[in-house]
Homo-oligomer: A and B are copies of this chain.
Amino acid sequence: MKVLVLGAGQLARMMSLAGAPLNISISAYDVNSDSIVHPLTQQPLGKGLDKAIADADVVTAEFEHIPLPILAQCQQSGKFLPGETAIKAGGDRRLEKQLLDDAAVRSAAYHIVNNETDFEQAIRKLGLPLVFKSALAGYDGKGQWRLKRAEDAAALWQQLDAFLQADSKQSIVAEQFIPFQREVSLIGARRANGDVQVFPLTENHHVNGVLSVSLAAAGNEQLQQQAQQMFTAVANQLNYIGVLAIEFFDVNGELLVNEIAPRVHNSGHWTQQGADVCQFEQHLRAVCNLPLGSAALVRPSLMVNILGEESVPEAILDIPGLHLHWYGKTKRAGRKMGHINLSGATTAELKARFETLISLLPETAFPELALMAARLK
């Protein structure tokens, strides 16, 4: 099978590594350079997007912020999975909120803001505190504003107004602030015949809005059931095919959807070592219409993102159950350069190994890891 991925970053790269053993060969469309490359070697493959789509059995995507004409072209081919609607819903918070409403899946109450009247209505209808999020191209905490006190509303509106003026395609979604205890995510896959397999819930810790640690350990069965039910509702609503990620707020054991990502997801990287089939292979199985693999946890596992660093102390490789995953990217401050997966036979063993890892990593580059170690019981 030949799969073309829109986007040529680390997710396409890891799909390529997972696909090769299945005889699935991956080419990638680098949106920035408008070229088709091999996602592992980054070598140009000497063809354009039209030819690449024609050559592919399946077209999929590693990110959702794709120019609309390209989405339309892929959709037109009849090969695009999970398809234009799902990708758009992942890239536009207005569509995402509508989708969640249609699927009858809980998320924060919201109001769409395009002008000052909307802004004032949002405050009246939803109350404070509020979170304002750009409708398009917001991720890793960018394009977000908070309003806690009524007296700050006028000043904030100045900022939001300038933001809206600068781009006529933009809009803002105002959301009730959710006083959540923690953020969890569920990664799962749905196949054309309706089969669904979901990985265990993952607990996520962000630093400055960017994912730092994901942790998959012994589960809360009630919460897992809840997440799976919501996942299935969203996936069925979209007639989704492929891997889908849903981020949730956990509010005293009740889940609300924070956002969805119609693709493999950073919080699912631990599946490379901790689950039976990793999310990259699972996505390829789904879009190539192969049987889904078991998504069972093999052993308690976690992932630590490597942000803006191009090396880590070599001694960490001495830790049993540790795997390094570099993305082959050029260093840039804050850039996702790689990740570390860590597993243990038991949660206690994972915790001990994590504490060793924390003692070896520089705290400036890897802040707040101890907070997550404390979650391992």
A contacts, CB < 8 Å to B:
13, 17, 20-23, 38, 40-41, 43, 276-277, 285, 290-291, 293-294, 296, 298-299, 314-315, 317-318, 320-326, 328, 338, 343
A20/B40 contact (C-beta < 8 A), A317-B285, A320-B276, A321-B294 known: yes
Q: Collect the chain B residues with CB atoms within 8 Å of residue A299's CB.
A: 298
The answer to whether A21 touches B325, judged by C-beta atoms less than 8 angstroms apart, is: yes
Q: Collect the chain B residues with CB atoms within 8 Å of residue A314's CB.
A: 290-291
With A17-B21, A294-B320 already in contact, 16 other A-B pairs whose C-beta atoms are closer than 8 Å: A17-B17, A17-B20, A21-B324, A21-B338, A22-B324, A23-B338, A40-B40, A43-B43, A276-B320, A276-B321, A277-B323, A285-B317, A291-B315, A293-B320, A293-B322, A298-B298
Q: Collect the chain B residues with CB atoms within 8 Å of residue A298's CB.
A: 298-299
Q: Which residue of B lies closest to A296 (CB)?
A: B320
Q: Collect the chain B residues with CB atoms within 8 Å of residue A23's CB.
A: 326, 328, 338
Q: Collect the chain B residues with CB atoms within 8 Å of residue A315's CB.
A: 291
Q: Collect the chain B residues with CB atoms within 8 Å of residue A13's CB.
A: 20
Q: Which residue of B lies closest to A324 (CB)?
A: B22
The answer to whether B318 touches A291, judged by C-beta atoms less than 8 angstroms apart, is: yes
Q: Which residue of B lies closest to A337 (CB)?
A: B23
In the complex this chain forms, how many copies of it are found? 2
A20/B317 contact (C-beta < 8 A), A38-B41, A40-B40, A298-B299 known: no
Q: Which residue of B lies closest to A311 (CB)?
A: B23
- Ranked nearest first, the 3 interchain pairs of A and B with the lowest CB-CB distance are A294-B320, A23-B326, A291-B317
**Subset of 21 A-B contacts with CB under 8 Å:** A17-B17, A17-B20, A17-B21, A21-B324, A21-B338, A23-B326, A23-B328, A23-B338, A40-B40, A41-B41, A276-B320, A276-B321, A277-B323, A290-B317, A291-B314, A291-B317, A293-B322, A294-B321, A296-B320, A298-B298, A298-B299
Q: Collect the chain B residues with CB atoms within 8 Å of residue A290's CB.
A: 314, 317
Q: Which residue of B lies closest to A345 (CB)?
A: B298
* Shortest CB distance A340–B (Å): 10
Bound: A191/B67 CA distance, A: 50
Bound: A285/B314 CA distance, A: 11
Query: Pick the contact of A317 from B17, B293, B321, B325 — CB < 8 Å?
Result: B293
Bound: A298/B349 CA distance, A: 13
Query: Pick the contact of A21 from B43, B296, B318, B326 — CB < 8 Å?
Result: B326
Residue from A20, A320, A324 having most chain B Cβ neighbours under 10 A: A20
Q: Collect the chain B residues with CB atoms within 8 Å of residue A277's CB.
A: 323
Q: Collect the chain B residues with CB atoms within 8 Å of residue A326's CB.
A: 21-23
